[in-house]
Amino acid sequence: MDLHDVTSAGLLRQRDLLSRGEISATELTAATLDGIERAADLGAFTEVLREAARTEATDRDAVPEVDRGPLHGIPIAIKDEIDVAGTVTGFGTRANSTPVAADAEVVRRLRAAGAIIVGKTTMPEFGQWPFTESSTYGAARNPWDRTRGTGGSSGGSAAAVAAGLVPVAIGGDGGGSIRIPAACCGLFGLKPQRGRVSHHPHPHLWFALGTLGPLTRGVLESAIVYDVIRGNVATDRFRAADSIVSFEHAARTPDTGLRIGYSTKPAVPLLKPDREQVRAVLTTVRLLTDLGHTVFEVDPAYPQVLPAFTPQLAAGVRAEAALVERPGALERRTRQHIRIGAFARKSVVEWAIAHGEKLACKSEQLFTHCDLLLTPTTATRPPRLGALDGVGAFRAQLRSLPMVAYTAPWNVTGNPAASLPAGIGDDGLPLAVQLVAPANDEPTILSVAAQLEQARPHPRPPR
């Protein structure tokens, strides 16, 4: 058995081999760590947990088969903003040096399901930008074309999964930071309903904007991981409506005859999407029609979300920056952004959250006419490396707009939304589309995304 093929085979194949005893957790982990080391130039990891992962794998192999969890022996990487016991939570910086004592709740749940944590992945400082570039760690490179970036901010997680280094990596999404890297790297990335996944030990992630979730190659893999990590603890400020529906079951059960609205209109005025992104939507419209759905063009009538989005972003970055031990080690651009965001006092943020709730009520009117909304994920193609070179905070925000034009509104409203592959563009890079659902309806996204994946298998980068 070629262990390199196994490490890049994906969660379902790895789980099957582990369950049949054809490979041990120790062997799979060793091969995974070797692959990560060989691909160090990809810039996907801030830290590789070699000894801890090997120890964890040995412990997993000692667990009786009857007691093994749904992710037994599966190597998983974690974005650098999420606590992993014994490691430094750097938020994409080197401004911290003290390891944290305990796992974040999402990591605790992964370990309880049998997963093995193999490392922390790169991100821009505090996840501020949809480009995974920093003066500290350099740029995460896109496995499809290493002169291109991965998007952000969960770009290291996306690079690790797309390159086949790990089958699953956890990211965070405060304005598109799961969906944008998924789109750039040809992956599936679902931003769940606000409050679906706990942020403990923190009460929230960028207030009402952020949530955590996996990047995976396939829809079913994502659903399996979500069934493990979803749920809340007492300290969570936001909670999704209780759902007893298995996400895995939803991904395995095709919905038929749905009403699906589509639009290529971005939420940013005067912004024109790349023709390839529009083509991806139109080819998906035809495919959905062939699958038996009723598909029609709609005007989402996007509300002006910046008054709700900007204060929460500014205050969220400022709150995370307050946690670091050496603020002077932060990038100049980050320090500028913190100063610009000084207006976002507590009263302003609470107003922004309340305003976002009003916008969420308005957005639900769209879903009285359709069961899902189909859009591009981004307005532009995967970016070339150096998107942030030499620019300050204001110009970085302007350069971010084409990347977040379709994703950020759904962070403000809290709706579930996913990016899924939609073929290959003329430039040889992945195309992607976004599916958005009414509040708390991740199952419909998973069902339709799985149908699309079966009809149009997700591409993989050339090896």
Residue 153 designated active-site? yes
Choose, from 177, 222, 263, 447, the residue flagged as catalytic. 177
Q: Can 362 be counted among the known catalytic residues?
A: no
The predicted-structure confidence for 144-154, as pLDDT tens digits, reads as follows 999 999 999 99
Q: What mean pLDDT is predicted for residues 401-420?
A: 98
Helix (H) or strand (E) holding 339: helix 332-340
How much of the chain exceeds pLDDT 90, in percent? 95
In angstroms, the Cα distances linking 292 to 183, 298, 422, 452, 453 are 25, 19, 18, 12, 15
pLDDT band at 258 (very low <50, low <70, confident <90, very high): very high
Tokens in use for 29? Answer: 């982990």
Lowest mean pLDDT among 183-187, 243-247, 326-330: 243-247
Q: Which residue of the set 79, 134, 157, 419 is catalytic?
A: 79
Which tokens sit at 210?
Answer: 């952020």
Structure tokens at 92: 């994409």
pLDDT(463) > 80: no
Phi/psi of residue 169, nearest 5 degrees: -140, 140
* 441 pLDDT above the threshold of 70: yes
C-alpha to C-alpha distance for 196 and 181, rounded to whole angstroms: 21
Q: What is the pLDDT of residue 36?
A: 98
Helix (H, G, I), strand (E, B) or coil at 157: helix
| pLDDT (tens digit per residue) in 175-199 | 999 999 999 999 999 999 999 999 9
- Please tell me the distance from the alpha carbon of residue 240 to that of residue 256, in angstroms, as a whole number: 26
Distances (CA, A) of 197 to 83, 122, 202, 214, 247: 15, 21, 12, 11, 13
For residue 455, what pLDDT band results from cuts at 50, 70 and 90?
very high
Residue 4 has a pLDDT of 73
d(CA 305, CA 249): 34
- To the query of whether residue 177 is one of the catalytic residues in this protein, the response is yes
Task: Check whether 1 has a pLDDT greater than 90.
Answer: no
pLDDT at 351: 98
pLDDT-derived band at 356 (thresholds 50, 70, 90) equals very high
Q: What is the pLDDT of residue 242?
A: 84
CA torsion sign for 41, 43, 46, 48 is negative
Q: Taking the CA of residue 264 as centre, how many other CA atoms within 13 Å lie in the half-sphere pointing to its CB? A: 17
Position 302 scores a pLDDT of 93
> Residue 252 region, left (φ>0) first, then alpha (ψ -120 to 50), else beta?
alpha
Predicted local confidence at residue 5, as pLDDT: 82
- CATH of the domain spanning 3-303+361-455: 3.90.1300.10
Residue 243: what pLDDT?
Answer: 77
Region 208-226: what's the mean pLDDT?
98
Taking residues 341-350, what's their average pLDDT? 96
CA distance 463 to 461: 6
pTM score, two decimals? Answer: 0.98
Residue 165: closest CA among 57, 62, 32, 321: 32
Averaged confidence pLDDT in the chain:
96
Residues 21-50: what's their mean pLDDT?
97
Catalytic residue among 8, 134, 153, 263: 153
Residue-wise pLDDT for 390-405, tens only, equals 999 999 999 999 999 9
Average pLDDT over every residue of 315-321: 96
Under the banding of pLDDT at 50, 70 and 90, the label for residue 3 is: low
Residue type at 131?
Answer: F
